[in-house]
Amino acid sequence: MPGITLNLTWPGRHAGQTTTAEAAAVAATVPVAPAVAALGQPAQAPRAGYGGTTSPTHPPLSSSPDSAVLASESRALTTSPLHATAYPLATRDLVVPELGTVGCIIPAYNEGATIAGTLDSLLEQSRPPESIYVIVNNSTDDTFWQAKRYEGSHVTLHQDTEHVVEVHVVDIGKNSAKKVGALNKGWELAREHDFIFGVDGDVRLDQRCLEYLRAEMMDDSRIGGISAIYSIDAHQASGPMAWFLLSAQRNQFAGFNMDNLLRNRNMAVLGGQASLFRGRALDALMSRYHQSHPWTTDSEVEDSLLSLQVRDVGFSTKISALARAYVGGMATGASLYAQQVKWTAGGIELMRQRPFHPNLRLRWRENIAMLFNIIVRIMFALLLAGSLAMAAFAPHPIWLVPPITALALNLRITAAMKDRTWRDWLFAGLFFPTEAYMWMRGLYFVVSWWQVMNKVEKDNWSAQAKAESGGGSAGWIWVVLGIGAIGGLAWFTWTNLSDAVRSDLLTWGWLSLAILSILLTLGMLKKLVRKHRGFHA
């Protein structure tokens, strides 16, 4: 097919145009077999998975729940230019990246156990990125050497279409800006690409994830950034506590995903796990905010701040309808506590700085709902104790409506999960696990607001890193102190009241609790009966 030009990026040059003859010359020097050949190193044996087979060390992406319905879900995409970009295989020519080039950035901190799986899933993409930049920072394990095995040129094959992927690995050593510094270093290297794809070092992408993201981005020039649908990897840990925590996070992520999917797919946060950004949008926000780089350390939730800035310069932020990524969850109480406090405290700071920003409306609703949930549960515990103390407790079936509604909502969320397992059904159906996790989230909420309102100077990034390395605490000291303070104050007050005042207090207390419970139940009912319109969380 003479006369068509190729827009490829090679080591040592920026994205530019390469003629068909030049591409053929390059193809002649790059192994066309699905091998992993690092620059300056002997060619290795073909790595299973790049030519359509599966990897012996990682589960096949084609066996994910998404792949079973890819054909039916993507009829609209199969007629897009994505499927007309390759030359006939017989000519051994390379794919024409007519939809713009993608530079992938992977900030990697102590990802030695997972970075290979992430790189495998990127190279196994139906439409992989043109370049991958692994930016190792502050690591104390073998992340660099694990990633180094992939450095160099890769030719991958998908449905008779060849793709060339350049993998670069850079270790920036000690870096005070942590993940933000790694992202910005990667952006410096990848900025000549049309799109920037941010991926965490413990993420496994569905095989067509990037293809879907790129197609949706090209279909609407107003989109500045688009996020994949995130699911917590359910197979990363074992043991009762780990399974409980992972199931809880899967339920939480699914609810968050569905909220965003049903808001016209407007995404509040373009998470760092797997999000594609338009280069023009990043350039525009840097110009407006006089930044030298897209990401800044002004917030502990750098992805949330960047999402706000993308909206500020006139672009939309979306969640994909089809692209999916499986991310690592927190398998210990300490790591979950540190992560959730960092996320929540960072979000609260943004809410205080920009209270009326459209991307923060969902956060406001989540925080208000959490406050109501905490108040209702504390009031119920205190009123129940007071009623039992006065032998005045008369249970009524009407009080079963809120927990039954909550149970039904959790089951509906589980049913909407794309890759639900029996553990997800068990977590939602037993009720008590979801209730326990709600109390844990209440703890994270209170600690986060306390940190922000009291201007506590704490490096939540370091706290999370320490917790993920086996240090830190799960925050149970706050639970003990909180229960002790509330219980002690309630007991002291109660013992100094007359019986008449106690009776009035119980009467008005139960009435107030009933009103709050009705409001919460109506909110749950609204989510329970809304149509999911074919979306899967």
- DSSP line for 151-171: -EEEEEEETTEEEEEEEEEEE
CA 447 to chain centre: 22
Residue identified by tokens 């030298």 is 292
Question: Is residue 200's pLDDT more than 70?
Answer: yes
Has residue 107 been placed in a domain? yes
Residue 273 lies in a domain: yes
| pLDDT, greater one: 332 or 79 | 332
Please give the Cα distance from 280 to 218 (Å, whole number): 13
pLDDT value, residue 143: 96
Give the strand pairing for 131-136 and 102-108.
Answer: parallel
**CA dist 469 → 110, 202, 256, 362 (Å):** 9, 15, 27, 32
Domain of 266: which CATH number?
3.90.550.10
Query: pLDDT value at position 324?
Result: 96
Average pLDDT over residues 399-428: 95
In the chain, % of residues over pLDDT 70: 78
| Spatial CA neighbour of 368 closest among 526, 519, 486 | 519
Helix ranges, 290-360 (H): 302-312, 333-353
DSSP secondary structure code for residue 205 in this structure: E
Q: 275, 306, 331: which is the final residue of a domain?
A: 331
Q: In this structure, is residue 42 part of a structural domain?
A: no
What is the predicted pLDDT for the residue at 480?
A: 78
Kindly report whether the global pTM for this prediction surpasses the value 0.85: no
Same domain assignment for residues 304 and 415 = no
Residue with tokens 């499986």: 326
| 205 and 137 co-located in one domain | yes
**286, 310, 331: which is the final residue of a domain?**
331
CA 472 to each of CA 42, 333, 335, 343: distance values in angstroms, whole numbers, following the listed order: 44, 10, 8, 17
CB 147 within 8 A of CB 108: yes
The residue count of the chain comes to 537
Dist. CA 525–CA 503, nearest whole Å: 32
Query: Hey, CA dihedral for 117, 120, 126, 128, is it positive or negative?
Result: positive
- Strand 152-158 vs strand 223-232: parallel, antiparallel, or unpaired? unpaired
On whether residue 13 sits in a domain, the answer given is no
Q: Domain end: 316, 331, 346, which one?
A: 331
Residue 356 has pLDDT above 50, yes or no: yes
C-alpha 98/C-alpha 82 separation (Å) is 8
Residue 194 amino acid letter: D
Provide the pairing of β-strand 274-278 with 223-232: antiparallel
How far is residue 437 CA from its own chain's centroid?
A: 19
Give me the long-range contacts of 70-79 (CB less than 8 A, separation at least 24).
70/208, 73/322, 74/208, 74/212, 74/322, 77/211, 77/212, 77/215, 77/322
Say yes or no to pLDDT of 393 above 90: no
Q: CA dist 79 to 76, 257, 416, Å?
A: 6, 27, 28
Whether 278 maps to a domain, the answer reads: yes
Q: Which residue has tokens 């990037």?
A: 210
Amino acid 93: pLDDT = 43
Predicted pLDDT at 113:
92
Distance CA 329, CA 416 (A): 19
pLDDT at 188 over 60: yes
pLDDT mean across residues, the chain:
81
Q: Name the region of 455 (left: φ>0; alpha: ψ -120 to 50; beta: rest).
A: left
236 and 373 both lie in a single domain: no
Q: Tell me the average pLDDT across 147-154.
A: 96
Q: Are residues 192 and 244 in the same domain?
A: yes
| Domain-located, residue 37 | no
Stretch among 78-87, 291-300, 400-409, 443-452 having the lowest mean pLDDT: 78-87
- Lowest average pLDDT, out of 41-45, 205-209, 520-524, goes to 41-45
Provide the number of structural domains found in the chain: 2
CB 309 within 8 A of CB 415: no
Pair (404, 305) in one structural domain: no
Q: Are 116 and 89 in contact (CB under 8 A)?
A: no
Q: What is the pLDDT of residue 467?
A: 61
Residue 81 has pLDDT above 80, yes or no: no
User: Same domain for 279 and 427?
Assistant: no
Domain span at residue 479 reads 364-529
- Same domain assignment for residues 459 and 513: yes
What span, in angstroms and rounded, lies between the C-alpha atoms of 133 and 146? 14
Q: Are residues 305 and 368 in the same domain?
A: no
**CA 204 to CA 117: how far, in whole Å?**
7
pLDDT tops 60 at residue 150: yes
377/524 same-domain check: yes
Distance CA 410, CA 427 (A): 9
For the chain, give the percent of residues with pLDDT over 90: 60
In-domain check, residue 73 = no
Q: What pLDDT score was predicted for residue 50?
A: 39
- C-alpha pair distances (Å), 178 with each of 108, 140, 185, 308, 327: 10, 13, 11, 21, 20
Verify that 298 and 434 share a domain, yes or no. Answer: no
* Selected residue with higher pLDDT from 330 and 6: 330
d(Cα 213, Cα 208) in Å, to the nearest integer?
A: 9
Q: What is the mean pLDDT of residues 215-227?
A: 94
Query: How distant is the alpha carbon of residue 301 from its chain centre?
Result: 12
Note whether 316 and 465 are same-domain residues. Answer: no
**CB contact burial 110-147 (16+ within 10 A = b; e otherwise):** bbbebbbbbbbbbbbbbbbbbbbbbbbbbbebebbebb
Q: What are the angstrom distances between the C-alpha of 374 and each of 308, 369, 406, 407, 427? A: 28, 9, 15, 17, 21
Question: Can you name the residues that pair with 277 across neighbouring β-strands?
Answer: 196, 225
Return the minimum-mean-pLDDT range out of 112-126, 183-197, 454-468: 454-468
- Please report the DSSP string for 439-470 in residue order: HHHHHHHHHHHHHHHTT----HHHHHHHHHTT
Task: Supply the Cα-derived Rg of the chain in whole angstroms.
Answer: 26
DSSP, residue by residue, 366-433: HHHHHHHHHHHHHHHHHHHHHHHHTT-----GGGGHHHHHHHHHHHHHHHH-TT--HHHHHHHHTSHH
Query: pLDDT tens, 231-263?
Result: 998 776 678 899 999 999 999 999 999 999 999
Q: What is the pLDDT of residue 86?
A: 30
Q: Identify whether residues 455 and 393 lie together within a single domain.
A: yes
* Sequential DSSP letters for 13-57: S-SEEE-HHHHHHHHHHS--SSBEE-TTSPPPPBPTTTTSS--SS
Residue 68 within a domain: no
Asked whether the predicted pLDDT for residue 341 surpasses 70, the reply is yes
